[in-house]
Amino acid sequence: QKVHVLPQTVLYVADAETFSGHEECHEQKKARKRNSKETAIALEKLLPKRCQVLGLVTPGIVVTPMGSSSNQPQEIEEGEAGFALLFPKIDGVKIHTFHFSKDLKNRVFDESKFAEAGLKNNPDLRVVLLFGYNSWKSGATRFLHQIVNPLNEKSIILAGGQVESFTSLTSENNNAQPGDACGVVGLAFSGPQIQSATVLLDQDVADERTAEAAMQRLKAANIPERNTIGFMFACVGRGYRHYKTKRNMEADAFRKFFPNIPLFGFFGHGEIGCDRIVTGNFVLRECNDIKDDLLHGYTTVMTLIHLGSTK
């Protein structure tokens, strides 16, 4: 008897070429430019109607080809690539999508919207993955600070980066963002069984030895490796350019210390994260109530999310 597990939440990420490439039009027997909206709708039709879907477009992709969790993760900086993570119903875990767009009329963000998204007055909140879009717009950085600063608590992992655009957010009536808007989309993971840790690879991490030292810090967090996902959010200025033409350096360093944890992520236009671990209220780095600096450039954020033990 076949058992089908339906996804409740889906995060998919594709590079810009995948969403704006060409496809053959059978009627005209020639290639035509694909519309990103068409591609997003086609993907959503493959999923259950009640499924929460968040889709992102980024300059590059980090993916572990599936079939075996021990497959080697790959940093794909050029060419078409993408992945989709399908989360089923998990006992003791809640995953919510959210979207905050900059209000052109008001300079101050209404923090009551945090509560609606489960990001405030939620003692079980453990991890928030944040993705800014249209970061080149005037006021985008200031708006991102308005979102990140109230969430900068020791009991929460924040990780993510700046993407080119988002193509799907099915929890909203209108999936398309206004062309002149900037904002933040993301996923919030809540549940007392969730454990998570992040480390930041700054500009000084520029060779195999220092990359592996960062992975050792992440390993020292002692996050359970079963039922755990790795995320890598890197600057487009890193990759093989940063490591003197040596490719896949950071993904290989991750695999050396976590051979059975699949790694996913992207290359983007700015990174969100720091050195931090959440298992209860223990943190990897104490800062004496000083807020961590969470917004970076030319860095890589490595994150582990453990979703609890499976039966």
| 3-state SS string for the chain | CCCCCCEEEEEEEEEHHHHHCEEEECCCCEEEECCHHHHHHHHHCCCCCCCEEEEEEECEEEECCCCCCCCCCEEECCCCCEEEEEEECCCCCEEEEEEEECCCCCCCCCCHHHHHCCCCCCCCEEEEEEEEECCCCCCHHHHHHHHHHHHCCCCCEEEEEECCEEEEECCCCCCCCCCCCCEEEEEEEECCCCEEEEEEECCCCCCHHHHHHHHHHHHCCCCCCCCEEEEEEEECCCHHHHCCCCCCHHHHHHHHHCCCCCEEEEEECCEECCCEEEECCECCCCCCCCCCCCEECCCEEEEEEECCCCC
What is the structure's pLDDT at 215?
95
Q: Which of 215, 231, 8, 227 is nearest to 130 (CA)?
A: 231
Q: What is the pTM of this model?
A: 0.88
Decide which of 179 and 29 is more confident: 179
* Mean pLDDT (whole number) for 134-162: 89
Express each pLDDT in 217-259 by its tens digit.
999 999 999 999 999 999 999 988 888 878 999 999 999 999 9
Asked whether the predicted pLDDT for residue 1 surpasses 60, the reply is no
| Token code pair at residue 27 | 């009627």
Looking at per-residue pLDDT, the higher value among 187 and 66 belongs to 187
What pLDDT, in 10s, does the model give residues 26-37? 444 444 445 667
